[in-house]
Amino acid sequence: MAVLGGDVLSDSSGKLAYIHEDWYCERLPGEVPMDFARRSQIIARDFITGLEKRGDSSLFVVLVHSELGPV
């Protein structure tokens, strides 16, 4: 499964709100679907790891994903 991107929300005020921090990943020309899926997952993991390093437990991530179908 490819991770096309994600949005970050905060619950610091007791209500979920977008904090206008996000990322996206597009398939490169000629990129094999399975390679795109792996690369997009690495990008998502790295972004989320960066959020975790902040130590802010009020952040939530909404992932946007895509089924690749037969490869």
Cα angle 2, 46, 56; round to 5? 120
* Strands in 1-71 per DSSP E: 2-10, 17-24, 59-66
DSSP-derived pairing of the beta strands 2-10 and 17-24: antiparallel
pLDDT-above-70 percentage for the chain: 94
pLDDT at 3 exceeding the cut of 90:
yes
pLDDT at 28 exceeding the cut of 80:
yes
Find the mean pLDDT for residues 57-70: 84
Confidence class of residue 71 from pLDDT cuts 50, 70 and 90? very low
Answer yes or no: are the C-beta atoms of 16 and 7 closer than 8 Å: no
Confidence class of residue 67 from pLDDT cuts 50, 70 and 90? confident
